[in-house]
Amino acid sequence: MSAAAPSTSLVVCTYRRPALLCRLLESVVAQRDLPEDFEVLVVDNASGDDTAARVEAFADRLAVRCLHEARQGKSHALNTGLRAADGDLLLLTDDDVRLDPTWVAAFVSAARAAPDAWWFGGRVVPDWPDGAPPRWLADAGLGPLAGYFGQYDLGDEPRPYRADDPLPVGASMAVRRTLVEAIGGFRTDLGPRGEALGGTGDDTEFVGRAAAAGRGGRYVPAARCLHHVGRERLGFRSVWRYGLGKGANRHRMGLPGDASLTRVVEQAARGLVQALGGRTDRARICALNAGMALGHRRARRETR
């Protein structure tokens, strides 16, 4: 790779979150040291609202295009954006994050410095509604709930990914176009779909497929973003719904899981005990586990 920055495209998929999307785009406007040919593609996944008009309002400050994907599902939208993008380096993020001012530059610099890396993962930090984690969330509780709240952090040092590292998440990720050409796009049976939560699967499956094909990646901690945590996401119902989607996606990926009704009931009962004892962080973990078991069970029955 030459010393010149690779042509770069940012792909963002969105569904009925125009206010959060505008907040993200403002953070893109504030980026420092953007490549000259940098472009932004927003893929509206059949929102049916004013998303396109909101994106168009940024056209005087960003090289931005709004595409439409009628098939419901983030992976459909992602693949549409990847096909339309002009860049050699494809940056991926979500519509509910805010990017640090050097987010784009960090990925571009990493791609230029590590020509043997095919994909790159950045750091994601929860953006809590009151500026700090809720009091009920013990430090020990964030581990099982880290993915739910959007946390992804492998430390402060950039380095190649190791086999035992958790794979990067779609809120802060970059891939080379040549990787998409080599292994294909995102699996459309995985990932968020409309209002459904529990998107785990589309991004990890894609990167896992790349790693299995011998194409390694690099962790880029300077590519940091803040992931919005709405107040509604702190409740039990939201955790349960996320678990349903996550369990279903794990089944579709062929991953093991206890899908028995016994597991569902056992985790629900344990969660009630934890809640009565004041450990609502552990109670939410139980709600997540119960939802995953039921989601896995439902997906297994659908594929029989």
DSSP string, 53-75: HHHHTTTTTS-EEEEE--SSSHH
Q: What is the mean predicted confidence (pLDDT) over 139-146?
A: 73
Band (155; pLDDT cuts 50, 70, 90): very high
Q: According to CATH, where is 3.90.550.10 located in the chain?
A: 8-231
Band (141; pLDDT cuts 50, 70, 90): low
Taking CA atoms, 289 is separated from 187, 235, 278, 286, 301, in Å, by 24, 15, 19, 5, 19
Q: Which residue has the higher pLDDT, 133 or 174?
A: 174
Q: Please report the pLDDT score of residue 140 as a whole number.
A: 53
Q: Please report the pLDDT score of residue 192 as a whole number.
A: 85
Q: What is the mean predicted confidence (pLDDT) over 249-267?
A: 90
For the chain, the average pLDDT equals 92
Looking at CATH, the fold of the domain delimited by 8-231 is given as Spore Coat Polysaccharide Biosynthesis Protein SpsA; Chain A (3.90.550)
Residue environment code for 255-271, b if the CB has 16+ CB neighbours within 10 A, otherwise e: eebebeeebbebbbebb
Q: Does residue 182 have a pLDDT over 70?
A: yes
Q: Does residue 250 have a pLDDT over 50?
A: yes
Band (2; pLDDT cuts 50, 70, 90): very low
| pTM of model > 0.85 | yes
Q: Does residue 167 have a pLDDT over 90?
A: yes
Q: Please report the pLDDT score of residue 3 as a whole number.
A: 54
Q: Does residue 169 have a pLDDT over 60?
A: yes
Whole-number percent of the chain with pLDDT over 90: 79
